[in-house]
Structure 1
Amino acid sequence: MREWIPISTSPKGRLALAAVQEFGARPFDEVTVGELAAAATVTTGALYHHFGSKLGLYAFVRDDVEQRMLDRMEGAIAASPAPSGRSTAVMAALLIGFDFAVREGFLRILGDPPAGADHDRLAELLNATTTPASPVLGRVLAAAWRAALVAVAEGSDSTQAREALAALEFRLAS
Structure 2
Amino acid sequence: MREWIPVSTSPRGRLALAAVEAFGTRPFAEVTVADLASAAEVTTGALYHHFGSKLGLYAFARQDVERRLLDRMEGAIAASAATSGAVPDHSAAVTSALLVGLDFAVREGFLYILGDPPAGTDHDRLAEMLSQTIGPAAPLLGRVLAAAWRAALAAIAEGADPDHARAAISALRLHIPDNP
Q: Normalization by structure 1: what TM-score?
A: 0.92
Quick one: distance in 1 between partners of 2:6 and 2:171? 37
Change (3 A) 1:62 1:156: same
Deviations 1:21-71 (A, max 9, x none): 110011111111011111111100000000010010000010000001001
Report what 1:125 is aligned to. Answer: 129
Quick one: distance in 2 between partners of 1:30 and 1:136? 31
SS at match of 2:93: helix
Deviations 1:100-151 (A, max 9, x none): 1110000000000000123101001111111454331111000000001111
Report what 2:49 is aligned to. Answer: 49
Quick one: distance in 1 between partners of 2:98 and 2:137? 17
Quick one: distance in 2 between partners of 1:151 and 1:25? 13
Quick one: distance in 2 between partners of 1:46 and 1:119? 27
Is residue 126–residue 142 contact of structure 1 (8 Å, CA) maintained in 2?
Answer: yes
Quick check: 77-86 or 50-59, which moved more? 77-86
Report what 1:171 is aligned to. Answer: 174
Structure 1 stretches (4+) deviating beyond 6 angstroms?
Answer: none
Quick check: 132-141 or 149-158, which moved more? 132-141
Q: Normalization by structure 2: what TM-score?
A: 0.89
Quick one: distance in 1 between partners of 2:58 and 2:114? 11
Report what 2:117 is aligned to. Answer: 113
Aligned amino acid, residue 174 of structure 2: R
Structure 1, unaligned runs of 5 or more: none
Report what 1:136 is aligned to. Answer: 140
Quick check: 21-30 or 130-139, which moved more? 130-139
- Give the RMSD, CA atoms, in angstroms: 1.9
Change (3 A) 1:108 1:35: same
Is residue 37–residue 47 contact of structure 1 (8 Å, CA) maintained in 2?
Answer: yes
Quick one: distance in 2 between partners of 1:90 and 1:121? 15
Quick one: distance in 2 between partners of 1:83 and 1:54? 46
SS at match of 1:100: helix
Report what 1:72 is aligned to. Answer: 72
Q: How many residues align?
A: 171
Quick one: distance in 2 between partners of 1:173 and 1:159? 26
Is residue 76–residue 92 contact of structure 1 (8 Å, CA) maintained in 2?
Answer: yes
Is residue 73–residue 97 contact of structure 1 (8 Å, CA) maintained in 2?
Answer: yes
Report what 2:36 is aligned to. Answer: 36
Change (3 A) 1:152 1:5: farther
Quick one: distance in 1 between partners of 2:57 and 2:65? 12
